[in-house]
Amino acid sequence: MNELSLFNDLFDGFGDDGFLMPSFKYKKVFAPKVDVKEDKDAYTMDMDLPGKTEKDINIEFKNNVLTISSETKSEKEEKKEEKAEAKEAPKYLIKERSYTKFSRNFSLPDDVESDGITAKVENGVLHIVMPRKAIAAPRRIAITAA
């Protein structure tokens, strides 16, 4: 990526509506940060998910790919009525909605014991332990003379 590629989004929208003004696109991307550790017995993953509970998180393991995803919708609603004297007076309504969705995929090594993977959420941190399979020691194969 070079310095000029930073300006591509600025000029993408020239002339779209017949105007020679750039269109500004706002994208909010939520990708939680992850720490992965390895030791002789297991791989350990910690993912920051503030405000999430175990009900908000989905974890799947298929074809050596660990997928962690979440989708959360929340709404805040405030109502304010005009004077009570006017029966047909319009109501003032404010709704603020937020929606977060993410999905992260991790290709895991072949030595992960998939049946032993465990996960827990504590204080906004998802903690996943992926135990390693015991690797068979190399053995010497005897050669017989023909």
pLDDT tens readout for residues 131-144: 999 877 888 999 99
Task: Name, in order, each residue with C-beta under 8 angstroms of 29's C-beta and a sequence gap of 6 or more.
Answer: none
Q: What is the pLDDT of residue 91?
A: 64
The residue with tokens 């300006």 is 7
Do residues 89 and 79 lie in contact, with contact meaning Cβ atoms separated by under 8 Å? no
The residue with tokens 């709404």 is 75
Q: Which of 116, 107, 102, 122 is nearest to 46 (CA)?
A: 122
Q: What is the pLDDT of residue 15?
A: 47
Q: What is the CA radius of gyration of the chain?
A: 27
Task: Name, in order, each residue with C-beta under 8 angstroms of 50's C-beta and a sequence gap of 6 or more.
Answer: 124
Q: What is the pLDDT of residue 6?
A: 45
Q: What is the pLDDT of residue 1?
A: 45
Rounded to whole angstroms, the Cα distance separating 71 from 6 reads 30
Do residues 81 and 145 lie in contact, with contact meaning Cβ atoms separated by under 8 Å? no
For the chain, list residues with pLDDT below 50. 1-19, 23, 82
Identity of the residue numbered 106: F
**Encoded tokens for 124:** 């906004």
Q: Which of 51, 98, 44 is nearest to 66 (CA)?
A: 44
Residues facing residue 62 across a β-bridge: 65
Q: What is the pLDDT of residue 9?
A: 46
